[in-house]
Amino acid sequence: MRVVISIGGSVLAPNLDARRVEGHASVVETLAREGCEIGAVVGGGGVARDYIGAARDLGANEVQLDQIGIDVTRINARLLIAALGSQVDPKVPHDYEDAGDAIRRGDISVMGGVMPGQTTDAVAAALAEYVDADLLVYATSVDGVFSADPNEDDDATKFEEMTASELVDVIGDIEMNAGSSAPVDLLAAKLIERAKMRTIVLDGTDPERIEPAVLRGEHTGTDIIPEGGDEPTYWAQ
Ligand SMILES: Nc1ncnc2c1ncn2[C@@H]1O[C@H](COP(=O)(O)OP(=O)(O)OP(=O)(O)O)[C@@H](O)[C@H]1O
Ligand SMILES: O=c1ccn([C@@H]2O[C@H](COP(=O)(O)O)[C@@H](O)[C@H]2O)c(=O)[nH]1
């Protein structure tokens, strides 16, 4: 089974806690031992937003701010690489071909951002499509996709499952400025839709939640169901 895991910066490195990074690395290594081929994509989190906020105050434009964000995602990717064993490609790929080559060699590949105008959510979706992944998992700071931002709206309800086109509708109005927050960004949702990619959005603050989701489809987040796609088959079955 080939899986791409997007790990939000806010769940990997909300502060520089080595044990937390080790926890995520340990789950990735366990999945690799179970026979999964893995591409990981790491976000920038609060640190990226702090840098972006300061540079915005200094007058940088949105592309310059995105470039700062990309730099931070790549630093976070290096942090995860540092915690992974010998099976990881030590290089942070800057494009999908290099990441795909590493995965096909049997290495774990860890990417950050690639280009302005998107977030690492879109990188993960594009990598998943490029390597023909069986599953894409977003480990983010909320336990799934809600009808509205659950941190802003007490009446927001969680989707246990939804189609990719419903996802596009729900997140379509979220702003796309550098450093913006969304469980999955709009470009990622469109890529998931066109690739008919089976996708799970879950709370990754506890990395232990990722393993049962990948191996058995067990989680409390949101399943994005491919329209016209096949029924999911789980690795452990
Ligand atoms: N409809 C929605 N459903 C769920 N979360 C939403 C929704 N709309 C906005 N959000 C916000 O999206 C946030 C999750 O995305 P966020 O970008 O902060 O984290 P991430 O995916 O872990 O990546 P990173 O921290 O690297 O940016 C949540 O904290 C929530 O406030
Ligand atoms: O391909 C990419 C990836 C990221 N960015 C910029 O970086 C920040 C932080 O990334 P997150 O995935 O949101 O953690 C993002 O908001 C963008 O400003 C990018 O431009 N291109």
Please tell me if the CB atom of residue 179 comes closer than 6 angstroms to any atom of ligand 2: yes
- Distance between CA 38 and CA 133 in Å, rounded? 9
ipTM, two decimals, is: 0.97
Query: Is pLDDT above 80 for 235?
Result: no
Give the number of the atom of ligand 1 that is nearest the alpha carbon of residue 146.
3
Provide mean pLDDT across the span 117-129. Answer: 98
- Tell me, in angstroms, the distance from the centre of ligand 2 to residue 31's CA: 26
pLDDT attached to residue 176: 86
Residue ranges of domains in the chain, CATH in brackets: 1-223 (3.40.1160.10)
* pTM of the complete model: 0.96
Give percent of the chain above pLDDT 70: 96
Query: Is pLDDT above 80 for 218?
Result: yes
Handedness of CA 126, 130, 131, 134 (dihedral sign): positive
- Distance between CA 181 and CA 184 in Å, rounded? 9
Please tell me if the CB atom of residue 48 comes closer than 6 angstroms to any atom of ligand 2: yes
Query: Is pLDDT above 90 for 230?
Result: no
Query: Is pLDDT above 90 for 210?
Result: yes
Provide mean pLDDT across the span 212-228. Answer: 94
Give percent of the chain above pLDDT 90: 90
- Distance between CA 226 and CA 237 in Å, rounded? 20
Residue 36 CB coordination number (10 Å): 20
Nearest residue CA, atom 8 of ligand 2?
Answer: 69
Give pLDDT tens digits for 69-93. Answer: 999 999 999 999 999 988 999 999 9
